[in-house]
């Protein structure tokens, strides 16, 4: 350092920290994906004249920028994988301009690391193939849930394991809501407090990528307003990624049952998982057979 160099000059000359390579790679993947969607989109598909002198297939960059109401320079930087800020609103406009379908839209927001302001609906149609699986595993209680704990489908044995699910309105067929609010479900949880704390901790971890989505916020707000017990556990901000090895439930028809819970993600993109309860002992196996017969 020369006599005329100040400490501030030295600080300004310090190289900026190197960017993690994975961030640059993600931006490059995002840029390539956006460009590929632009190049496949015919001008006529968005109401533009085809033109006579197009050197590249699909739309021009300035046309996408115009359709999305963003600056041409900003959109060009996006396709050049520059380090720029990408907001949910602008990304939503680009997705609409490029006519992205649901999987493409999800991929776009995932690459950008941005929460989709208009995500696909939480509740989706369960394929007939999975419905058949639920029937075949009886008398084992089984259900299809999403990571928000909505019960999307279940077999007859599961329908009577905790409470009479078929008698409830669809909006209330959510395991988190039922565990805190349904009298029958609450009575069925033998280790209730431990179960509730673990459920909420898992739910908070699952929700990390979803808290800004309307359906998640609606459920959380509904529980906070309805259950002081949920509010007390939720405010602890505990997170977890585990399940109880053996779950003990008190069924109103057959008494205590001891069950293993196995989970299989069948459609991770939709957050859909299959949960099957299998008996932990011979006595429970016999009780599940009785429960199936009672379920009709």
pLDDT for 268 equals 62
Measured distance CA(212)–CA(118) in Å, rounded: 10
Order of strands across the sheet that contains 151-154: 151-154, 142-146, 272-279, 255-267, 247-251
- pLDDT score recorded for residue 131: 95
pLDDT (tens digit, 9 = 90+) per residue, 69-82?
999 999 999 999 99
Dist CA 173 CA 102 (whole Å): 26
Q: What angle do CA 256, 262, 266 make, to 5 degrees?
A: 140
Q: What's the pTM value of the predicted model, to 2 decimals?
A: 0.67
Q: Please give the Cα distance from 21 to 265 (Å, whole number).
A: 30
The pLDDT confidence band at residue 217, using thresholds 50, 70 and 90, is confident
Residue 24 has what pLDDT? 87
How confident is the model over 207-212, as a mean pLDDT? Answer: 72
Residue 65 has pLDDT above 90, yes or no: yes
User: Tens digits of per-residue pLDDT, 146-201?
Assistant: 888 999 999 999 999 999 999 999 999 999 999 999 999 999 999 999 999 999 99
What pLDDT, on a 0 to 100 scale, did the predictor assign at position 241?
80
Q: Please write the tens of the pLDDT for every residue from 269-282.
A: 567 899 999 999 99
Q: What percentage of the chain carries pLDDT values higher than 70?
A: 88
d(CA 119, CA 211) in angstroms, rounded, equals: 12
Report the C-alpha gap between 120 and 116 in whole angstroms. Answer: 9
Rounded to whole angstroms, the Cα distance separating 125 from 133 reads: 15
pLDDT digits (tens, 9 = 90+) for 77-106: 999 999 998 999 999 999 999 999 887 898
DSSP codes of every residue in 146-161:
ETT-BEEEE-HHHHTT
**CA–CA distance, 117 with 98 (Å, rounded to integer):** 17
**Residue 117 carries which DSSP code?**
S
Helix (H) or strand (E) holding 247: strand 247-251
- Integer Cα distance of 214 and 220 in angstroms: 10
**Nearest alpha carbon to residue 215 among 288, 153, 127, 123:** 123
In degrees and rounded to multiples of 5, residue 61 shows phi and psi of: -60, -40
The first and second tokens of residue 86, run together, are 């990408």
Among the listed residues 85, 92, 42, the one whose alpha carbon sits nearest the alpha carbon of residue 68: 92
User: Residue 178 in 3-state DSSP?
Assistant: helix
**How does the average pLDDT of the chain come out, rounded?**
87
Ranges 54-58, 145-149, 188-192, 206-210, most confident: 188-192
Give residue 17's pLDDT.
Answer: 56
Q: Tell me the pLDDT tens digit for each residue of 279-293.
A: 999 999 999 999 999
Q: What is the pLDDT of residue 4?
A: 44
Distance CA 80, CA 60 (A): 14
| Confidence at 130, pLDDT banded by 50, 70, 90 | very high
Torsion-angle region of 51 (φ positive above 0: left; ψ -120 to 50: alpha; else: beta): left
pLDDT tier at 232, thresholds 50, 70, 90: very high
Alpha helices in the chain (DSSP H): 7-13, 21-40, 61-68, 72-79, 88-97, 102-112, 128-136, 156-159, 175-181, 183-188, 192-206, 214-226, 228-234, 282-295
Instruction: Write out pLDDT tens, residues 254-272.
Output: 999 999 999 998 876 567 8
Residue 153's pLDDT is what? 95
CA distance 217 to 237: 16
């Amino acid at each position: 350092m020369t006599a005329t160099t100040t400490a501030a000059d030295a600080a300004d000359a310090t190289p900026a920290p190197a960017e993690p390579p994975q961030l640059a790679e993600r931006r490059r993947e995002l840029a390539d994906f956006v460009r590929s969607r632009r190049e496949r989109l015919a001008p006529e598909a968005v109401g533009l004249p085809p033109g006579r002198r197009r050197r590249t297939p699909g739309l021009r960059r300035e046309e996408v920028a115009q359709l999305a109401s963003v600056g041409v320079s900003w959109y060009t930087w996006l396709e050049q994988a520059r380090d720029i800020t990408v907001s949910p609103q602008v990304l939503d406009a680009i997705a609409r301009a490029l006519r992205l379908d649901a999987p493409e839209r999800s991929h776009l927001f995932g690459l950008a690391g941005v929460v989709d302001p208009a995500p696909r609906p939480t509740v989706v149609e369960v394929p007939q193939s999975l419905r058949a699986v639920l029937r075949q595993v009886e008398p084992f209680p089984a259900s299809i849930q999403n990571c928000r704990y909505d019960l999307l489908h279940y077999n007859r044995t599961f329908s009577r394991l905790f409470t009479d699910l078929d008698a409830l309105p669809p909006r209330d067929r959510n395991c988190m809501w039922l565990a805190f609010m349904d009298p029958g479900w609450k009575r069925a949880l033998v280790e209730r407090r431990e179960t509730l704390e673990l459920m909420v901790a898992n739910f908070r971890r699952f929700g990390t990528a979803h808290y800004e989505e309307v359906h998640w916020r609606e459920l959380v707000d509904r529980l906070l307003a309805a259950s002081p017990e949920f509010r007390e556990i939720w405010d602890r901000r505990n997170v977890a990624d585990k399940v109880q090895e053996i779950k003990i439930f008190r069924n109103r028809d057959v008494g205590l049952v001891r069950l293993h819970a196995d989970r299989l993600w069948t459609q991770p993109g939709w957050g859909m998982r299959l949960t099957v309860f299998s008996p932990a002992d011979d006595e429970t196996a016999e009780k599940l057979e009785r429960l199936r017969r009672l379920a009709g």
